[in-house]
Structure 1
C-alpha cells in the first residue's frame, strides 16, 4: 500500500454546539406553525444546521456513489442470484438502466460507480472508478474475507473517492451479490444480535434457503472469534466486504469534510456500524434514509439510535432508499430557510395559558 493510500482515521469534529442549537431551535419553533408540527423534518433541519454550522444550511452538488464488489461466501449458496449478476448489474448502471440511475436523474445527483472488488475485470467507462482491491473477497467460512492490509486499503480508497467529489452531500449505495451475509455478520459481531435476528432473505430466499443461510453464517461467525480488545478493522477484515469497507471510509471522509451523508439500507448501515466504531462522531453526519425489509436492519437502526425517514419495504440496495428520501432533506432545508416566522408574517402565536 503506497503512502497516499495508507489508511488513517481522519479528524471528525462533533457537531454539538449548544449556542447554535439554541438558535436553530428558536428559528424552527418560531415558524408559522404549531410547536413541533413538522415532526421529523424539524429534527432533520436541526441536524442540517449543526452539520453545516449554519442557521441557513444550503445543499450543494449532491453526489451518488455506488460501491460494487463480490463475496467469496456466495459459494455457500446464501443468495438467490448467481455471483455473475454483480458484474451484469454494474454494466446496467453504467448504461443508465438501473433503478438508482432513474432516481439519480430524477433528483439531480451526479453518479459514479466504484469497482471496489468485482470478481471480473471491467472495461473502462467514464462513470466507473477502478479501485479494485481484489477479485472479490475470500470465502469467510474458511478464512478471513480479506487481510488487514486489504481492509485498510479499502477504507483508504473510500476516503479518497469522497475527497475528489464536489458538493456537501454524499449518498452511498452498493451492489454485490451475497452482501447481506457480511452485513448480517458485522451486525451480529458489533451489536451482539443473534444470527437468526440479523439474517434476512436478501434477494428473496425461501424458508429453506433462509435456514441454510443462517446455518452458514452461524458457522462463519464461530470461525472468527471476536477480537479482544475490540478491533473494528480486524472484524471488517474477517467478516466484511470491499464495498462495505469503502463505504465506511467514504463516511469517515465525508464527516471529516463536514458533508451530510445519506445512508441507504442494511448494507450501508453495516458500513455505518464500522465507521462509528472507528470514529464515534461520524454518527452526527449520517441521515438514515429508510428502514428496509431486511430483518436485521431494524436492529441495526435501533443500535445506532436512528429513526429512518422512510419505511417502504425496500430491499434493492444501490442507494435507492437514500435518493427516495432526498426530497425530505430538501424540504427540511427549505422550510428552515424560506418559511415565514410569526413575527415576519404578522401571524399571532399560541397564547399563553
Structure 2
C-alpha cells in the first residue's frame, strides 16, 4: 500500500511557471492599478499555476465530507456523545447541515464519505469507503493499525480520482467526527513538536475544566504511543483519525491530478500536515480558506506556509469555511476572464493611473 501512495505522490508536479507568468502579465494589463486587488491577485496567480491556464474556470466544485468516529471519545473530551457522528451523517445526506446550505449557495456538490463511522448507514447518496468502525482509544494505545492508516489514505486518493473522472475541477475538504479535534491536536503535536496546551482548543465548546482534561488526554496519548515525527503514517496510526487520513489522501490525489484543494479548518489542517509530510510539493495545491477558532489552527497554517483568506472565528468544520471561499474563487476567475484590459477598453496604461 505504501508503494501505491508513493506512486501518487511521485506524480505531483510543481505549478506551471509559464501559466503563472501569463497570469501576472494579464493582471497587469487589466484596467486597474497594479496590485490593487491585493490578495485576490496572488490567488489568481496561484490558481493559474495549479491549473496551467491563466484564465481558469471551476464549474464543477465538490465538497468532500469525510466522516469517522474516534475511540478517544470514551475519555470525555467532547461536549457531545459519539452517537452524534451517526446522527449528523443523515443530516448531511439529506442536505440539512450548514455545509450543505453554503455549498448550494456556492454552486458546489457535497459528497459524504463514510470512512470510519461506528455503525452502518444506508443511503443512496452515501459513498461507502469504511476502513473500520472508528478508531481505538489513543490514550490507551494506537488509534489504529498502520495498514488501516494506509488504507484510509488510499481511500481518499480514490475518492479524489473518481470525482475528477466525473468532472470535479476544485475540491473543498470537509469532515464530521465527534472527538476529531482531539486527534487533530495530537497530530499537530506529534508532527510539529507543539505542546498539547498550545495545540488543543475547545472543539465542540467545552469548558475550562474539560479543556484541561482534553490536554491531559493528548499528553497521555503521546506518552503511551511515542509517535515518530519523521514517519507521518506512524503518527496517523497512533494518534490520528480515519477522516484525517482520508482527507490527506484526497489532497494528495487532487494534487497529483493538478486540482486545487480549498482547506477548511483544524481537522483539514491536520490532514494537510500529513499530506505535506508525505509530499512537501502538495502544499502548492492547497488554498487556506479561513483561520479557525481552534487555537492550534494558525500554527498549522504557519507550518504549511499558507495564509488564510478569511478570519471569521468559525469552528464548525464540515467544510463551511471552504464553501464560503468559493465566492472568492469565482470572483478571481471572473476578473481574469471578464475584466477589460487597457488596450481593449481604450484606456491609457498604468503609467497614467
TM-score w.r.t. the length of structure 1 is 0.95
Matched length: 349
What is the rounded CA distance, in whole Å, between the counterparts of 2:85 and 2:73 in structure 1? 11
TM-score w.r.t. the length of structure 2 is 0.95
Equivalent pair of 2:190/2:228 in contact (CA under 8 Å): no
Equivalent pair of 1:8/1:156 in contact (CA under 8 Å): no
1:200-250 CA distance string (max 9 Å, x none):
00000111111111111111111122427x111111111110000000001
1:56 and 2:51 are equivalent in the alignment: no
Q: Which 4+ runs in 1 deviate beyond 6 A?
A: none
The secondary structure found in structure 2 opposite 1:188 is helix
What is the rounded CA distance, in whole Å, between the counterparts of 2:62 and 2:55 in structure 1? 21
Equivalent pair of 2:68/2:115 in contact (CA under 8 Å): yes
Partner of 1:22: 21
Partner of 1:217: 218
Alpha-carbon RMSD? 1.8
The secondary structure found in structure 2 opposite 1:295 is coil
The secondary structure found in structure 1 opposite 2:197 is helix
**Unmatched 5+ residue regions in structure 2?**
none
1:6-37 CA distance string (max 9 Å, x none):
64441333334443322221111221111111
Shift of 1:186: 0.8
What is the rounded CA distance, in whole Å, between the counterparts of 2:244 and 2:15 in structure 1? 27
1:148-197 CA distance string (max 9 Å, x none):
00001001111111111122111110000010011101111111211111
What is the rounded CA distance, in whole Å, between the counterparts of 1:101 and 1:335 in structure 2? 27
Matches within 5 A, 1:62-211: 62-122=61-121, 124-165=122-163, 166-211=167-212
Partner of 2:340: 340
What is the rounded CA distance, in whole Å, between the counterparts of 2:198 and 2:92 in structure 1? 32
What is the rounded CA distance, in whole Å, between the counterparts of 1:36 and 1:14 in structure 2? 28
The secondary structure found in structure 2 opposite 1:208 is helix
CA spacing shift, 1:156–1:34, aligned 2, 3 Å: same
Equivalent pair of 1:12/1:282 in contact (CA under 8 Å): no
The secondary structure found in structure 1 opposite 2:312 is coil
